Amino acid sequence: MPFEHLLVLSFVLFTLAAAGFLTHKNIIVLLMFAELMLNAANIALVAFSKFSGALEPQVFVLMVFAVAAAEAGVGLAIVILLARSLKTLNIDTVKNLRG
């Protein structure tokens, strides 16, 4: 598969994920779109690794996996905390704090 195709896939996925993040209302779906953005960027890194033959981007991807897992762990804990106090998963109900 040519390198350009991978890059285009990555950009399309990134745009879709960002668009989904900005339009969806479910607290957990938003979390999934944020993870999808990271994975789109991962595809770009792997594409560049394929292009140049260097291994640094692949190491970077592994680090992103590790970090994304840690982030998702803390994120889900916070979501559970929030869902308990809200009794719903709609983002529009998250509005106690405002000026």
Which residues are near other proteins by CB under 8 A?
10, 14, 17-18, 21, 27, 30-31, 34-35, 37-38, 40-42, 44-45, 47-48, 51-52, 54, 56-57, 59-60, 63-64, 67, 70-71, 74-75, 77-79, 81-82, 84-86, 94, 96-99
Q: Residue 84 CB, nearest distance to other proteins (Å)?
A: 8
The residues, ordered by sequence, that sit 6+ positions from 19 with a Cβ below 8 Å of its Cβ are none
**Where does residue 25 rank: exposed (0-12), middle (13-18), buried (19+ CB within 10 A)?**
exposed
Q: Residue 46 CB, nearest distance to other proteins (Å)?
A: 9
**CA 4 to CA 59: how far, in whole Å?**
21
H/E run at residue 42: helix 27-52
Neighbours of 42 (CB within 10 A): 20
Pick the closer one to other proteins by CB: 2 or 45.
45
Pick the closer one to other proteins by CB: 1 or 98.
98
Q: Residue 41 CB, nearest distance to other proteins (Å)?
A: 4
